[in-house]
Structure 1
């Protein structure tokens, strides 16, 4: 996965997918993208960066279920009073983490309640851009900073899972990254089904 340059094949695939959706939002343009990046101290990962600037700045219906959010927006169910989103702070995870139960939380027992809450808050708010929601507190994040830069993660009340990976206990197959995530949705395939 190349997060520094947009492969022509990825841009072409994204253009084709979104050309068939009349509810696609017009692109934001390079000036808006550069302004957003300067405001947050980041450079968006490719191919998302080119997608927003040249192809579309969102979609009113899927992906995810409630639409692909325009740049810098949060879903209506995100809620008020949440911690500030810090896109330039590194995303704190490199592998799936369940808040409770399962193998992914082994070693977390040593965290105090305050440390645990701070880590969960960082997972939600550090180093990621919100792509949208599937409802019921299920949020899709594009990682903007840190080792997972360019990957898409599903974060909800149960934990955080990267798209396009196959950990032994959690399966969310597909091609990692924004283009792979969009392609899986466009094919009408389940996020969790095999294949």
Structure 2
């Protein structure tokens, strides 16, 4: 996973995965992507950055189940310049974690350093981390906790990052198809 430079092979796979989308969504273009980044004080991780600039800005087809949100929808209400606070899975319904004020951290998890990519419904939202140590990774955030997506974190055999997340979906695989970490 390289979150600083778009891989042409990954971009081709992303174009193919979303190529059947007849919803009319269009790419933002570089000028609008750069304006969004300047407004929010971040540089979006690759290949998502090039994807929204050149392929499409949102899609009615997945991933996730209810479609991919447009950049402004998923990032508009977030504090993107603040670092995402987690680096490992945390099920806050089972454990307060090592936090003095777990409720404050839970609020940060939902708001800081991530773009909401969309939802699978029932409060199961997918986020792309745009700042902090997990920049470029995908996390599923629910009312019960937060779990990073990618083989290195357990629960799935997929590659980490936006391209791995989309490829996993395009291959028709279950989200959590691996052993628990």
TM-score, normalised to structure 2's length?
0.92
In structure 2, how many angstroms separate the alpha carbons of the residues matched to 1:143 and 1:24?
A: 27
Q: Describe how 1:5-154 pairs up with structure 2 within 5 A.
A: 5-23=5-23, 25-74=25-74, 85-101=78-94, 105=95, 107-108=97-98, 111=100, 115-154=101-140
Q: Answer with 1 or 2: which has the greater Rg.
A: 1
In structure 2, how many angstroms separate the alpha carbons of the residues matched to 1:23 and 1:175?
A: 28
**Map of 1:188 onto structure 2:** 172
**Map of 1:174 onto structure 2:** 158
Long gaps (5+) in structure 2: none
CA deviation after TM superposition for structure 1 residue 72, in Å: 1.6
In structure 2, how many angstroms separate the alpha carbons of the residues matched to 1:194 and 1:171?
A: 4
In structure 2, how many angstroms separate the alpha carbons of the residues matched to 1:131 and 1:24?
A: 18
TM-score, normalised to structure 1's length?
0.85
Matched, 1:4 2:4: yes
In structure 1, how many angstroms separate the alpha carbons of the residues matched to 2:54 and 2:14?
A: 10
In structure 1, how many angstroms separate the alpha carbons of the residues matched to 2:50 and 2:19?
A: 15
Q: Is the 8 A contact 1:28 1:52 kept in 2?
A: yes
CA deviation after TM superposition for structure 1 residue 22, in Å: 1.9
Long gaps (5+) in structure 1: 76-83
